[in-house]
């Protein structure tokens, strides 16, 4: 008899516990402040055979810096970085591009035709979008050394100083408010 009375009570109690528990687990995620990170969208619709190299290069940047994040633009969405494959030399407009602005990267086929690595080229050109100038001549360990890192260099990762510069371009200090340069930088092999 007691058991028959208790059972519905216990069911009701555990239901209440479940109701009570749900918001408690969801709340911390909602309460925590969103990360202060600039999100830039890139449009690789015209990147042709370089689309996967561009996606790899964006992932390299996303794993290398935290103040800025590159995401593929969805259909109809404004892209801050437009990527176009053509038959010239790889080249790009110097950033740092800001949300709502736009710079273009040209994945010129001359670079890969000369034997340079497509992912390193894409990461280098995206480096220009994020405001890094060329650092030529330089070693393979430097991303912005570009072709001077050697034709066999496949390193797509920015070095510590390159990472620090990009963090500053999208940081809270004065460099974080630097306007987009827009200059065209041509990467002849
Ligand atoms: Zn360059």
DSSP character string of 140-177: TT-STTGGGG-TT-------HHHHHHHHHHTSSSGGGG
Residue 35: the pLDDT is 54
| Burial 118-133, CB ≥16 within 10 A → b, else e | bbbbbbbbbbbbbbbe
Q: What is the 3-state secondary structure (H, E, C) of 11-74?
A: HHHHHHHHHHHHHHHHHHHHHCCCCCCEEEEEEEEECHHHHHHHHHHHHHHHHHCCCEEEEECC
Our answer to whether residue 71 is catalytic in this structure is no
For 128-175, the pLDDT digits (tens) are 999 999 999 999 999 999 999 999 999 999 999 999 999 999 999 999
Distance CA 109, CA 155 (A): 19
- The answer to whether residues 111 and 131 touch, using CB atoms and an 8 Å cutoff, is no
- Mean pLDDT over each residue of the chain, to the nearest integer: 88
The CATH number, out of the four listed (3.40.50.20, 3.40.390.10, 3.40.50.12780, 3.30.230.10), of the domain defined by the range 38-186 = 3.40.390.10
pTM of the model: 0.82
Least confident of 14-18, 75-79, 98-102: 14-18
CA-based diameter of the chain, in Å? 89
Tokens 């528990």, residue? 21
Question: Starting at the edge strand that comes first in sequence, how are the strands of the sheet with 38-46 ordered?
Answer: 68-72, 38-46, 81-86, 103-108, 91-93, 184-186
Cα(161) to centroid(ligand 1), Å: 16
Among the options 80, 125, 162, 167, which is catalytic? 125
Cα(46) to centroid(ligand 1), Å: 20
State percent of the chain over pLDDT 70.
81
Distance CA 86, CA 11 (A): 67
Boundaries of every domain in the chain: 1-32, 38-186
Cα(34) to centroid(ligand 1), Å: 33
Cα(136) to centroid(ligand 1), Å: 9
Cα(156) to centroid(ligand 1), Å: 13
- The answer to whether residues 185 and 94 touch, using CB atoms and an 8 Å cutoff, is yes
Cβ < 5 A residues, ion ligand 1: 134, 146, 185, 187
Band of the pLDDT at 18, cuts 50, 70, 90? very low
Residue 105: enclosing H or E segment and its boundaries? strand 103-108
The partner residues of 186 in beta bridges, in order of sequence, read 91
For 103-136, the pLDDT digits (tens) are 999 999 999 999 999 999 999 999 999 999 999 9
Cα(73) to centroid(ligand 1), Å: 24
Tokens 């370089």, residue? 50
Residue 36: the pLDDT is 82
Distance CA 130, CA 113 (A): 25
- The answer to whether residues 70 and 61 touch, using CB atoms and an 8 Å cutoff, is yes
Q: What is the mean pLDDT of residues 82-101?
A: 98
């Amino acid at each position: 008899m007691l058991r028959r009375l208790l059972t519905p009570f216990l069911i009701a109690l555990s239901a209440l516990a479940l109701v009570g528990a749900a918001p408690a687990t969801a709340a911390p995620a909602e309460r925590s402040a969103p990360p202060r990170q600039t999100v830039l969208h890139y449009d690789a619709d015209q990147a042709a055979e370089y689309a996967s190299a561009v996606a790899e290069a964006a992932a390299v940047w996303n794993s290398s810096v935290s103040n800025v994040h590159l995401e593929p633009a969805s259909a109809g969405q404004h892209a801050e970085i437009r990527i176009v494959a053509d038959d010239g030399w790889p080249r790009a407009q110097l950033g740092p591009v800001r949300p709502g602005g736009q710079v273009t990267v040209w994945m010129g086929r001359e670079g890969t035709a000369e034997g340079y690595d497509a992912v390193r080229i894409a990461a280098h050109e995206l480096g220009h979008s994020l405001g890094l100038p060329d650092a030529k001549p330089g070693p393979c360990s430097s991303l912005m050394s570009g072709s001077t890192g050697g034709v066999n260099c496949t390193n797509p990762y920015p070095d510590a100083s390159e990472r620090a510069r990009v963090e500053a371009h999208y940081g809270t200090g004065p460099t974080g408010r630097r306007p987009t340069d827009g200059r065209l930088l041509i990467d002849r092999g």
